[in-house]
């Protein structure tokens, strides 16, 4: 008789873990509190526009495809990957810089800035690529739950080789002198929700992986990946129950025996929690014993990532000067980047502008564009910020002021036919993101690898966790790694 698994949360981690367990002949039921599955990888659908709700940058497509090969399916039957070129367009003052996939084009672009910076940029790519190969082999693909997984001779030597002690910005500055290039690289390294001026330089892997492996787009948007995972789950006999929030994980004699919801109590052989880890510890585990070390007091002392504010714009006009991924460098870059971590909303924000309709017309039903404009903002632990209409309107006005300085976008407000937004309050209420964070627990040196929450509970050996607050960290590719690792833990334990 097959073992039964209940998964709490139909985010990327929950859905892909479900598929892996179904492949290994588990009976799988997923509980999701929202009507739409996908967690923060979600979609905003209107009459004429489809918007990726938050996730928009697709790195490392092989980790997406691996899920399909694991269960014996061909990903091309479910998804269409489109390579993006240029990977980014950078707007800085009157300057526009395209960062192309082809190194011949990229070299010419960099040499126009300076040959010294061109050489430094490629040295930077080479050195960080070496770090990536080490990190991917010894850390990102492996469990760090046991103390010997990290504190052993080999991994400690490799950790020294990676040498992450300097900040991302300082490390970048050793190679690149042009401030625009520094800021372009530094901005990408904060995609995990920490400041490039304080966070460890391991996150320079992000711009390097983007440049060396390219960026991709899924036709129909990121949510097409969620749709594919859902279809596969049903094909393999799994079940997804939506609009039923789990209220409590139930325990008996050092075992997780089931979950309690509005439908009543349902028992299972194992429980996998894909809800945000700090939220789960605070709200789903009522018995202090089973919280292990993660009491409310400890959760309050831990460090958390920043949040995000996103404007969704449906436009009746197309803006070909935008690429799919665009970075606009605001004035006082450092001050603006550090603001979210000091509890301040930036006045001249650096913007990430996502325009998928540039290469995917299935996202729009008119001749215009759909764009997301994203700004990093403080999480909800900064109580002095009240996300009321005044705060939102002030921030939106500041964003439009910056947008209209980009050549050709001066009339953008006149061409808006749909407008919406997402705040940290939405992150908290809709997705149970603890403190309204965008990326869960911060990935500081004291909260990475072995020091991150464990996949398996120390108190109940059939309770597992998966998601962005677990090892190896936030971002779809890393959560896919998390799913792979936790499945191995389950199969080895159960």
Level-2 CATH architecture, domain 4-41+220-301+443-493: 3-Layer(bba) Sandwich (3.50)
Over residues 293-303, the mean pLDDT reads: 94
What are the Cα distances from residue 342, in Å, to 276, 335, 383, 384, 385? 23, 10, 12, 11, 11
pLDDT of residue 57: 95
Query: DSSP of 278-346, one letter per residue?
Result: HHIIIII--SHHHHTT--HHHHHHS-B--EEEEEEEEESS--TT--SEEEE--SSHHHHHHGGGTT---
pLDDT of residue 1: 66
Over residues 463-474, the mean pLDDT reads: 93
Is the pLDDT reported for residue 297 higher than 90? Answer: yes
Sheet containing strand 264-267, edge to edge, reads: 246-252, 255-261, 264-267
Q: Minimal CA–CA distance to 271: which of 86, 456, 470?
A: 456
Residue entry with tokens 């913007």: 351
**Confidence at 267, pLDDT banded by 50, 70, 90:** very high
Cα 120 from chain centre: 29
pLDDT of residue 150: 52
pLDDT of residue 149: 55
The predicted-structure confidence for 43-102, as pLDDT tens digits, reads as follows: 999 999 999 999 899 999 999 999 999 999 999 999 999 999 999 999 999 899 999 999
- Is the sign of the CA dihedral 460, 463, 469, 474 positive or negative? positive
**Confidence at 466, pLDDT banded by 50, 70, 90:** very high
Is the pLDDT reported for residue 162 higher than 60? Answer: no
Considering only residues 133 and 40, tell me which one the structure prediction assigns the higher pLDDT.
40
Q: How many CA atoms lie within 13 A of 152 on its CB side?
A: 10
Q: Which residues lie below 8 Å from residue 469, measured CB to CB, with a gap of 6+?
A: 276, 277, 278, 440, 441, 452, 453
Task: Kindly report the average pLDDT of the chain as a whole number.
Answer: 93
3-state secondary structure of 3: coil
Is the pLDDT reported for residue 155 higher than 60? Answer: no
Helices 179-188 and 205-213 pack at an angle, to 10 degrees, of: 90
Is the pLDDT reported for residue 142 higher than 90? Answer: no
pLDDT of residue 102: 92
What does the alpha-carbon distance between residue 414 and residue 411 come to, in Å, rounded to a whole number? Answer: 5
pLDDT of residue 147: 58
pLDDT of residue 478: 92
pLDDT of residue 166: 85
Over residues 244-262, the mean pLDDT reads: 97
Positions of E strands within 34-135: 43-45, 50-52, 81-84, 88-92, 95-99
pLDDT of residue 200: 86
Over residues 434-453, the mean pLDDT reads: 89
pLDDT of residue 160: 47
Is the pLDDT reported for residue 273 higher than 50? Answer: yes
pLDDT of residue 7: 98
Is the pLDDT reported for residue 163 higher than 90? Answer: no
**Type and span of the H or E element at 419:** strand 416-422
The predicted model scores a pTM of 0.94
Estimate the share of the chain in helix, then strand, then coil, as percent rounded to the nearest 5: 40, 20, 40
**Confidence at 132, pLDDT banded by 50, 70, 90:** confident
3-state secondary structure of 258: strand
pLDDT of residue 156: 43
Lowest mean pLDDT among 142-156, 276-290, 316-330, 473-487: 142-156
The predicted-structure confidence for 339-367, as pLDDT tens digits, reads as follows: 999 999 998 999 999 999 999 999 999 99
Lowest mean pLDDT among 10-19, 416-425, 473-482: 473-482
| Residue 69 contacts residue 227 (beta carbons within 8 Å) | no
Q: Which two tokens stand for residue 128?
A: 């960080």
Is the pLDDT reported for residue 404 higher than 80? Answer: yes
**Confidence at 134, pLDDT banded by 50, 70, 90:** confident
Sheet containing strand 370-377, edge to edge, reads: 95-99, 88-92, 325-328, 351-354, 370-377, 307-315, 416-422
What does the alpha-carbon distance between residue 370 and residue 51 come to, in Å, rounded to a whole number? Answer: 7
Domain ranges of the chain: 4-41+220-301+443-493, 105-216
Is the pLDDT reported for residue 154 higher than 90? Answer: no
Backbone region of residue 122 per phi and psi (left: phi > 0; alpha: psi in -120 to 50; beta: other values) = alpha
pLDDT of residue 135: 75
- Kindly compute the dihedral angle of the four CA atoms of residues 485, 486, 488, 489, in this order, to the nearest 10 degrees: 120
Residue entry with tokens 């997780």: 256
pLDDT of residue 45: 97
């Amino acid at each position: 008789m097959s073992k039964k698994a209940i998964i709490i949360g139909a985010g990327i981690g929950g859905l892909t873990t479900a598929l892996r367990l179904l492949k290994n002949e588990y009976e799988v039921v997923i509980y999701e509190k929202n009507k739409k599955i996908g967690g923060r990888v979600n979609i905003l659908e209107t009459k004429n526009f489809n918007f990726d709700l938050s996730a928009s940058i697709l790195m490392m497509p092989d980790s997406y495809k691996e899920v399909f090969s694991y269960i014996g399916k061909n990903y091309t039957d479910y998804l269409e990957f489109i390579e993006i070129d240029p990977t980014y367009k950078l707007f800085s003052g009157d300057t526009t810089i395209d960062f192309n996939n082809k190194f011949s084009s990229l070299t010419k672009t960099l040499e126009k800035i300076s040959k010294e910076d061109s050489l430094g940029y490629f040295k930077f790519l080479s050195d960080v690529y070496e770090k990536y190969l080490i990190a991917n082999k010894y850390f990102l693909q492996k469990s760090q739950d046991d103390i010997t997984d990290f504190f052993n001779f080999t991994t400690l030597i490799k950790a020294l080789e990676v040498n992450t002690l300097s900040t991302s910005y300082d490390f970048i500055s050793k190679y690149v002198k042009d401030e625009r290039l520094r800021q372009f690289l530094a901005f990408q390294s904060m995609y995990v929700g920490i400041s490039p001026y304080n966070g460890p330089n391991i996150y320079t892997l992000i711009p390097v992986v983007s440049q060396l492996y390219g960026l991709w787009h899924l036709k129909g948007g990121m949510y097409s990946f969620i749709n594919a995972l859902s279809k596969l789950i049903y094909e393999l006999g799994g079940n997804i129950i939506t609009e039923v929030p789990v209220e409590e994980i139930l325990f008996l004699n050092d075992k997780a025996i089931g979950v309690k919801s509005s439908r009543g109590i349902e028992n299972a052989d194992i429980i996998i929690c894909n809800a945000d880890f700090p939220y789960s510890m605070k709200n789903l585990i009522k018995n202090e014993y089973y919280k292990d070390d993660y009491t409310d007091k400890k959760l309050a002392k831990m460090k958390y990532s920043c949040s995000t504010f996103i404007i969704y714009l449906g436009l009746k006009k197309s803006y070909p000067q935008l690429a799919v991924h665009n970075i606009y460098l605001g004035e006082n870059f450092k001050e603006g980047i550090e603001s979210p971590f000091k509890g301040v909303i930036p006045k001249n924000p650096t913007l990430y502008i996502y325009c998928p309709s540039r290469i995917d017309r299935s996202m729009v039903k008119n001749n215009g564009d759909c764009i997301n404009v994203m700004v990093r903002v403080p999480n909800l632990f900064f109580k002095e910020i009240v996300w009321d209409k005044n705060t939102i309107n002030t921030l939106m006005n500041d964003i439009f002021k910056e947008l209209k300085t980009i050549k050709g976008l001066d009339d953008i407000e006149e061409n808006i036919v749909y407008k919406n937004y997402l705040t940290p309050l939405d992150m908290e209420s809709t997705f149970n993101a603890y403190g309204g964070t965008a990326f869960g627990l911060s990935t500081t040196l004291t909260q990475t690898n072995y020091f991150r929450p464990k996949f398996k509970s120390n108190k109940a050996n059939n309770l597992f966790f998966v998601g962005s607050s677990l090892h190896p960290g936030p971002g779809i590719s890393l959560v896919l790694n998390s799913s792979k690792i936790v499945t191995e833990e389950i199969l080895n334990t159960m």
